[in-house]
C-alpha cells in the first residue's frame, strides 16, 4: 500500500483539478462537533483533533490531489497492475491521504488497535510519502475523529475514537 500511495500521490507539474474538494471542507463535521463540545464546556478528542487539523491545514507544506477514501477494499489488482477505485477527490497534504488506512480492515480491530502495527504503518507510509511520521500520525488521529463525528452516537463512533486514541498514544510514546 505504501508504494502504491507513493505513486498515487507523487508530485506533478499538472495543476490540480478545480473539482477537488479542499480537505478543510471535508473536515467540516469535525470542526462543528468540536465547536459544539467547546460551547458545552467539554474538552474532548474532537476539540483536540480539530485544533491539530486546523493547525496542519493552516501550515500545509504542499497540496496534492488525494483519493480521500483509500483503504484495502479500494485497491484492486488487475491485468493492468494495481488500481485504486472509488475516489472522493480531495486536495490536501499527502499524510491525510494515508490516514484512513490506519482504520482498516474494518472488521479487524485487533490489528487497528495494535501499537506495533500503528508504528510500523507510520514508518512505512512516512518513508514512502516523505512525511514526518509524527505529522502523519497527527493526521491519522484527526481523520479518525472526523470519522467518529460522521458516525456520532453509534458503535462506529466508539470504534473510531478507540483507534484514534491508540494512534495518539503511539504518537506520544514512540515519536
pLDDT score recorded for residue 153: 82
Residue 167 has pLDDT above 90, yes or no: yes
Grid coordinates representing 143 are: 481523520
Q: Closest by alpha carbon to 126, among 2, 17, 1, 27?
A: 2
Residue 175 has pLDDT above 90, yes or no: no
Q: What is the mean pLDDT of the chain?
A: 95
Residues marked active site are found at 69
The SS3 assignment for 87 reads coil
CA distance linking residue 24 with residue 78, whole number of Å: 33
Whether the Cβ atoms of residue 144 and residue 160 lie closer than 8 Å to each other? yes
Grid coordinates representing 100 are: 484512513
The ranges assigned to domains in the chain are 2-11+23-174
How does residue 51 score in pLDDT terms, banded at 50, 70 and 90? very high
CA distance linking residue 45 with residue 30, whole number of Å: 10
What DSSP character marks residue 99?
G
Q: What is the pLDDT of residues 131-165, one digit of tens each?
A: 999 999 999 999 999 999 999 988 999 999 999 99
Residue 122: how many other CB atoms lie within 10 Å = 26
pLDDT score recorded for residue 21: 97
CA distance linking residue 85 with residue 121, whole number of Å: 21
pLDDT score recorded for residue 48: 98
- For 2-11+23-174, which CATH class? alpha beta
CA distance linking residue 46 with residue 92, whole number of Å: 20
How does residue 61 score in pLDDT terms, banded at 50, 70 and 90? confident
- Residue 61: phi and psi, rounded to 5, are -85, -40
CA distance linking residue 76 with residue 95, whole number of Å: 21
CA distance linking residue 47 with residue 37, whole number of Å: 7
Grid coordinates representing 76 are: 484492486
CA distance linking residue 62 with residue 47, whole number of Å: 25
Q: What is the pLDDT of residues 78-124, one digit of tens each?
A: 999 888 999 899 999 999 999 999 999 999 999 999 999 999 999 99
How does residue 43 score in pLDDT terms, banded at 50, 70 and 90? very high
Amino acid at each position: 500500500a505504501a508504494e502504491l500511495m507513493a505513486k498515487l500521490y507523487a508530485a506533478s507539474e499538472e495543476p490540480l483539478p478545480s473539482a477537488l474538494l479542499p480537505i478543510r471542507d471535508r473536515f467540516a463535521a469535525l470542526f462543528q462537533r468540536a465547536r459544539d463540545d467547546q460551547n458545552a464546556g467539554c474538552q474532548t478528542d474532537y476539540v483536540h483533533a480539530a485544533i491539530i487539523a486546523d493547525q496542519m491545514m493552516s501550515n500545509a507544506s504542499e497540496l496534492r490531489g488525494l483519493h480521500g477514501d483509500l483503504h484495502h477494499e479500494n485497491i484492486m489488482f488487475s491485468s493492468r497492475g494495481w488500481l485504486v477505485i472509488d475516489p472522493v477527490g480531495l486536495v490536501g497534504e499527502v499524510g491525510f491521504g494515508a490516514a484512513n488506512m490506519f482504520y482498516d480492515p474494518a472488521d479487524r480491530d485487533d490489528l487497528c488497535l495494535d501499537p506495533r502495527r500503528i508504528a510500523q504503518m507510520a514508518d512505512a507510509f512516512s518513508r514512502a510519502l516523505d512525511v514526518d511520521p509524527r505529522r502523519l500520525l497527527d493526521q491519522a488521529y484527526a481523520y479518525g475523529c472526523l470519522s467518529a463525528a460522521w458516525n456520532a452516537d453509534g458503535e462506529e463512533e466508539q470504534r473510531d475514537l478507540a483507534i484514534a486514541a491508540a494512534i495518539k498514544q503511539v504518537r506520544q510514546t514512540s515519536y
